[in-house]
Amino acid sequence: MRAALTGDTALVVASAPSYAHGVVDPVAEIAGEAAARGVLCHVDACIGGWYLGHLRRAPEGADLAPFDLSVPGVTSLSVDLHKYGYTPKGASLLLFRDAELRRHGWFAHADWPGYPVVNATLQGTKSAGPLAAAWAVTERIGTEGYTDLAVRVHHARTALADGVARIPGLRVLGTPAASLLAVAAAPGGPDPFVVADEMRTAGWYLQPQPAAAGSPANVHLTVTAAVAAPETVEQLLKDLAEAVVRAHAHGPVTVDPAIAEAAAALDPDRVGPAEVALALDLAGIGDGALPDRMAPVLAVLQALPPRLAARLLPEVIGRLYPGVAAA
């Protein structure tokens, strides 16, 4: 990061935690380096801020390093309430170190014939319902209640990580400090996408994450209080171990190298309807419906260059929800 900072750098962002692996960045070091260069430092704690902040109040979180505005050099912090605040979607927090910084977070406009506009976002009209709901939920649960929920989630995440390590063929990526786990195949292990399909047949949804930036394909678990009961964790690990056996028997999903090579030569900015239709057909969603098993679709998307995959994703949604032609 130090080498990446230049005179043009406007902002440095640290994660607490990163979504993909549940790993918390070394916020103090990052913020200190940013401050030394006169650069703002934002901490993205959207998924973990509420959880980690309350866990730090308990003995179980005593070893967690500070990541918030108490850290010198951190100038702003974002936290979503609908995640570990367990509130309805639509209310999040963006906190600033001081009022001068917060001033730049407002949208203000007076150069038009109408009334002077000042909003916290570009959205001028929005419901106060999510704000009221968030206030009601957070007041009802309270600091002690959230601390208890965070401890329960912590124990569940620890038990899941330990249990995954005991399942032959699986491994946890990184050293997660938060409530998120990324589970990949150990050497000789099963195809994670097939494991995800097998878990879905058992009633679980584990989020598949394709390989990217050196991170191998994996399945992602977001551990919340809803699944933190010991018996739930035990059942999940039992079903996961059985899914691994079935995934081994099924074998990995493969993509024809010739197809991958041909796709790599496509220019995402010039892909036309015929190429889009062919790619979606190869992925198994040409008929406008998702297949029962998503591993082949994910394998194709993973084999495509990232820009091409991103180009095709809106087309997938278009196939699933084609709309109704005007009469």
pLDDT of the chain along its 327 residues, tens only?
888 899 899 999 999 999 999 999 999 999 999 999 999 999 999 999 999 999 999 999 999 999 999 999 999 999 999 999 999 998 899 999 999 999 988 888 899 999 998 888 767 777 889 999 999 999 999 999 999 999 999 999 999 999 999 999 999 999 999 999 999 999 999 999 999 999 999 999 999 999 998 999 999 999 999 999 999 999 999 999 999 999 999 999 988 888 778 777 888 888 888 877 777 777 777 666 778 889 988 998 888 888 888 888 888 888 788 777 666
- Cα(227)–Cα(12) distance, integer angstroms: 34
Residue 194: CATH number of its domain: 3.90.1150.10
Whether 89 and 198 map to the same domain: the answer is no
Whether 290 and 222 map to the same domain: the answer is no
Which residue range forms the structural domain that includes residue 149? 142-250
pLDDT of residue 105: 84
pLDDT of residue 327: 65
- Where among 110, 131, 152 does a domain terminate? 131
pLDDT of residue 13: 97
- Cα(133)–Cα(125) distance, integer angstroms: 18
Contact 183, 192 (CB under 8 A): yes
- Where among 250, 279, 295 does a domain terminate? 250
Structural domain includes residue 175: yes
- Cα(218)–Cα(117) distance, integer angstroms: 46
How many domains are there within the chain?
A: 3
Structural domain includes residue 1: no
Structural domain includes residue 85: yes
**Whole-prediction pTM value?**
0.89
Structural domain includes residue 61: yes
Residue 46: CATH number of its domain: 3.40.640.10
Quote the distance between the C-alpha of residue 18 and its chain's center: 7
Whether 162 and 224 map to the same domain: the answer is yes
Structural domain includes residue 326: no
- Where among 84, 103, 131 does a domain terminate? 131
- Cα(54)–Cα(179) distance, integer angstroms: 12
Whether 233 and 295 map to the same domain: the answer is no
Whether 26 and 72 map to the same domain: the answer is yes
Instruction: Decide the pairing of beta strands 40-44 and 11-15.
Output: parallel
Whether 245 and 212 map to the same domain: the answer is yes
Structural domain includes residue 244: yes
Whether 46 and 108 map to the same domain: the answer is yes
Secondary structure (H, E, C), 87-135: CCCCCEEEEECCHHHHHCCCEEECCCCCCCEEECCCCCCCCCHHHHHHH
pLDDT of residue 134: 96
Whether 244 and 270 map to the same domain: the answer is no
pLDDT of residue 273: 81
pLDDT of residue 229: 96
Whether 15 and 95 map to the same domain: the answer is yes
pLDDT of residue 326: 66
- Cα(147)–Cα(155) distance, integer angstroms: 12
Contact 164, 172 (CB under 8 A): yes
**Sign, Cα dihedral of 228, 22, 19, 284:** negative
pLDDT of residue 276: 79
The DSSP 8-state label assigned to residue 215 in this structure reads: B
Structural domain includes residue 136: no
Query: Is residue 260 exposed (0-12), middle (13-18) or buried (19+ Cβ within 10 Å)?
Result: middle
